[in-house]
Amino acid sequence: MTYRVTLIPGDGTGPELVEATRRVLEATGVTFDWDVQEAGADVMDKYGTPLPEVVLDSIRENKVGLKGPITTPVGTGFRSVNVAIRMALDLYANLRPARFMRGIRGPYEDVDIVVVRENTEGLYAGIEHDVIPGEAAETIRIITRKASERIVRFAFEYARANGRRKVTAVHKANILKATDGLFLSVAREVAKRYPDIAFEDRIVDNMCMQLVQRPHEYDVLVLPNLFGDIVSDLCSGLVGGLGVAPGANIGDELAVFEPVHGSAPKYAGQNKVNPTATILSGMLMLRHLGEKEAADKVQNAVAAVIAEGKDVTYDMKPTRDDPTAVGTQEMADAIIAAMDAR
């Protein structure tokens, strides 16, 4: 069987990371028909928008996409293409596993946390405006029963399907009584339907401290959109950093796989950054497609290369200027060679 997949190279370091990932995925023996679609600042001139409708149509048709990061101007300019894709296609669950691999230099070993971030509302609804230009601005944070219910259900279903023990709902319901109060009360209701999985909740600021001090006590976390974005970067820092943190945006029918990290524009075109996060996002895509054997092959090969610590990028070496660090494509080559060796 050949899988037709929408492939969005993105910008900044995106195209080189997606190319490395495409090569690794093809080396598993699974065959793909890549439907390449461009989005981001570079297509503005041609289409008048950074997210042409053809890109969304392609994902709707193929049902699955693999995406490189896309730059969003800070404080001005067009709204995030990444957020727009998730919202337009109702990819409501952002799954971000943070799992320790042997060979990673980090504060802890054996951390294994899965962040489930709500992906369609909260502060990312982007409803904001100037009240008095230059003096005051306001934004609206939307939390609904429907979105809270389905994201917490997703977290419990994921926990059940993957043999996890506990779901922790993370919130700021002490201060945001209406919005996070609703999220928390819905989470408590949903938890009652899953007596086989433990449930608890934490206030987000305390959660950050707990994760830094006792990450092993946590399993699956479910959070509203902004908290999920921030806490998932924190969790990636516990297991080697953004270079190794994969992600998936999942809806009822469609899914788009992309790393947690952004476009790291200062390294664009240098064949320097770590392809692991994008390759492991591809591995999550293989699992989603039901290609378990190929997914295991990629995951084991990545683990073997990182455990050996030789053919890895600068961010995985003892110092950032280690002369033995290899480039993006060379690390992908080593992963392909490790797959072949098995």
Residue nearer to ligand NAD on the CB measure, 265 or 269? 265
- Report how many residues bind ligand NAD under the rule CB under 6 A: 18
Q: Rounded to the nearest whole angstrom, what is the least distance from the CB of residue 8 to ligand NAD in the complex?
A: 9
Q: Which of 11, 180, 201, 229 is catalytic?
A: 229
For the question of residue 219 being annotated catalytic, the response is no
- Contact call for residues 313 and 272 (beta carbons, < 8 A): yes
**Interface mask (CB under 6 A) for ligand NAD, residues 286-315, using x and -?**
-----------------------------x
Check residue 263 for interaction with ligand NAD (CB under 6 A). yes
Q: Which of 117, 171, 172, 261 binds ligand NAD (CB under 6 A)?
A: 261
For the question of residue 166 being annotated catalytic, the response is no
For the question of residue 205 being annotated catalytic, the response is yes
Residue nearer to ligand NAD on the CB measure, 169 or 247? 247
Q: What is the rounded distance in angstroms from the CA atom of residue 342 to the CA atom of residue 334?
A: 13
Residue nearest to ligand NAD (CB): 262
Q: What is the rounded distance in angstroms from the CA atom of residue 316 to the CA atom of residue 326?
A: 10
Q: Which of 33, 42, 110, 205 is catalytic?
A: 205
Residue at 168: amino acid letter? T
Q: Rounded to the nearest whole angstrom, what is the least distance from the CB of residue 119 to ligand NAD in the complex?
A: 11
CA distances (Å), origin 75, targets 11, 129, 225, 305: 19, 12, 19, 39
Check residue 338 for interaction with ligand NAD (CB under 6 A). no
Q: φ and ψ at 66, to 5 degrees?
A: -125, 130
Bridge partners of 98?
113
Check residue 273 for interaction with ligand NAD (CB under 6 A). yes
Nearest alpha-carbon partner for 62 in 7, 1, 119? 7
Check residue 121 for interaction with ligand NAD (CB under 6 A). no
For the question of residue 3 being annotated catalytic, the response is no
Check residue 264 for interaction with ligand NAD (CB under 6 A). yes
Nearest alpha-carbon partner for 234 in 173, 315, 226? 226
Q: What is the rounded distance in angstroms from the CA atom of residue 198 to the CA atom of residue 183?
A: 18
Check residue 62 for interaction with ligand NAD (CB under 6 A). no
Nearest alpha-carbon partner for 277 in 79, 87, 104? 104
Give the CA dihedral 199, 205, 209, 215, nearest 10 degrees: 30
- Contact call for residues 238 and 108 (beta carbons, < 8 A): yes
Positions annotated as catalytic residues are 124, 172, 205, 229
Residues that bind ligand NAD (CB under 6 A): 69-72, 82, 242-243, 258, 261-265, 267, 273-274, 277, 315
